[in-house]
């Protein structure tokens, strides 16, 4: 919901300011789906707001629920007709994570990712980003009578650091005590490696988590599969991470998709360990080995056994590693599968 618009409407209609707080609480914290549900304001005001203001800045076109109920994807249509996706995921303990898109489409064209294949449409506005969280809050309230959103991850469509102005505003709304009231530490931003963004995050939101989609540990391979590396090389990334550690002393999550025959061999493990160790703060790096989710772009996932060998090699080099469980594959809502269909 656009807060500025709400303020303007109020200013025009001589409504007392405390009403804004009541309305914001109802929308952002109680998760009401329509102004009609706000019983603490007059009927006239409810009707007036319904006429003047949309709670969500998009319409919901489709909701796909996986059989186990733990991953749910929504296809959203923006005012200008572009489609984005958002995903609600749970690891099964009644705690939910919301994965938000920051752009419609993506310019980066990573070769293994479904989003990049269809190109870039436009940047999302802050409210189009935070409304994805609002939408899931409403959904959980309606479907399950509760709201247990514990994490927000910027791992949907798009590159958050290429839309920093709006992403920044959306984070401000998410942590605002009068709005969503999330803790900074429950928010994570994932980047394909835009170094300016990493530096800005350290400065402006040192408590927000950083994930880096590394996936390849030599420039040769990274250039080939992640064109962004032609602009921001592994050496540039190293410097940005060193700056990040210096400013925040916080852990960084290094994402590494395992692609059969491409980046999962012994040499790759060697290069990865060498690169990560060269950054200098081994204890602040945590590597997530990710299963490749099927997309139209080909590639095969590395077998479980090989992933274990890769993990052991990194651990023997003093690195901390997890194998990340993939959620959302069935609804094509897993990482890299968001194509706006």
Residue ranges that bind ligand SAH, judged by CB under 6 A = 110, 112-113, 155, 159, 190-192, 213, 255, 257, 290, 292-293, 295, 335-336
Dihedral (CA of 115, 199, 127, 190) sign:
positive
> Looking at beta carbons only, is 112 or 275 nearer to ligand SAH?
112
> Looking at beta carbons only, is 134 or 257 nearer to ligand SAH?
257
Least Å distance between CB 309 and ligand SAH?
20
Would you list the DSSP string of 18-51?
HHHHHHHIIIIIS--SSGGG-TTS-HHHHHHHHH
Least Å distance between CB 188 and ligand SAH?
10
Least Å distance between CB 48 and ligand SAH?
39
Least Å distance between CB 110 and ligand SAH?
6
Beta strand pairing call for 96-99 and 149-154: parallel
Catalytic residue among 106, 110, 113, 335: 335
On the CB side of 330, how many CA atoms lie within 13 Å of its CA?
13
Least Å distance between CB 88 and ligand SAH?
16
Residue 99 bears catalytic tag: no
> Looking at beta carbons only, is 46 or 286 nearer to ligand SAH?
286
Catalytic residue among 85, 127, 166, 271: 85
> Which string of b and e fits 218-229 if b means at least 16 CB within 10 Å?
beebbbebbbbb
> Looking at beta carbons only, is 3 or 195 nearer to ligand SAH?
195
Identify the CA nearest to 161 among candidates 188, 190, 122.
190
Using CA atoms, how far residue 226 sits from 68, 99, 233, in Å, is 33, 22, 10
Nearest residue to ligand SAH on Cβ basis: 336
Q: What are phi and psi of 297, to 5 degrees?
A: -90, 10
Least Å distance between CB 193 and ligand SAH?
8
CB-CB neighbours of 297 under 10 Å: 14
> Looking at beta carbons only, is 138 or 163 nearer to ligand SAH?
163
Instruction: Give the C-alpha separation, 215 to 227, whole Å.
Output: 12
Contact 119, 340 (CB under 8 A): no
Instruction: Give the C-alpha separation, 223 to 141, whole Å.
Output: 44
CB-CB neighbours of 93 under 10 Å: 8
Least Å distance between CB 268 and ligand SAH?
16
> Looking at beta carbons only, is 182 or 253 nearer to ligand SAH?
253
Contact 319, 274 (CB under 8 A): no
Instruction: Give the C-alpha separation, 311 to 26, whole Å.
Output: 46
Q: Cα torsion at 308, 313, 319, 324 (round to 10°)? A: -20
> Looking at beta carbons only, is 110 or 217 nearer to ligand SAH?
110
User: Token pair of 151, please?
Assistant: 């994490």
Q: Indicate which residues carry an active-site annotation.
A: 85, 335
């Amino acid at each position: 919901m656009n807060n500025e618009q709400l303020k303007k409407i109020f200013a025009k209609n001589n409504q007392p300011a405390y009403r804004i707080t009541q309305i914001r609480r109802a929308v952002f914290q109680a998760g009401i789906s329509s102004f009609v549900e706000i019983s603490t304001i007059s009927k006239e005001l409810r009707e007036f707001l319904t006429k003047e203001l949309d709670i969500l800045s998009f319409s919901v076109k489709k909701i796909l629920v996986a059989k186990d109920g733990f991953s749910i994807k929504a296809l959203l249509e923006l005012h200008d007709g572009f489609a984005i996706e958002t995903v609600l995921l749970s690891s099964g303990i009644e705690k939910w994570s919301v994965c938000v898109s920051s752009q419609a489409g993506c310019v980066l064209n990573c070769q293994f990712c479904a989003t990049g294949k269809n190109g870039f449409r436009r940047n999302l506005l802050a409210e189009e980003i935070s409304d994805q969280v609002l939408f899931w809050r409403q959904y959980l309230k309606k479907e399950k009578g509760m709201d247990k959103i514990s994490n927000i991850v910027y791992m949907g469509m798009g590159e958050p650091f290429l839309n920093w102005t709006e992403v920044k505003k959306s984070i401000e709304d998410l942590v605002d005590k009068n709005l969503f009231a999330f803790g900074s530490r429950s928010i994570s931003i994932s980047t394909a490696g835009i170094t300016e963004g990493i530096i800005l995050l350290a400065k402006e939101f040192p408590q927000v988590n950083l994930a880096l989609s590394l996936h390849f540990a030599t420039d040769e391979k990274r250039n080939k599969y992640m064109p962004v590396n032609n602009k921001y090389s592994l050496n540039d990334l190293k410097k940005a991470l060193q700056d990040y550690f210096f400013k925040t002393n916080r852990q960084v999550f290094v994402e590494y998709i395992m692609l059969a025959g491409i980046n999962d061999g012994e040499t790759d493990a060697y290069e990865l360990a060498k690169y990560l160790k060269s950054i200098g703060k081994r204890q602040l790096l945590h590597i997530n080995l990710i299963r490749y989710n099927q997309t139209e772009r080909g590639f095969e996932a590395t077998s479980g056994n090989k992933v274990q060998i890769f993990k052991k090699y990194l651990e023997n080099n003093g690195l901390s590693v997890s194998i990340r469980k993939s959620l959302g594959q069935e609804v094509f809502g897993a990482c890299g599968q968001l194509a706006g269909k």
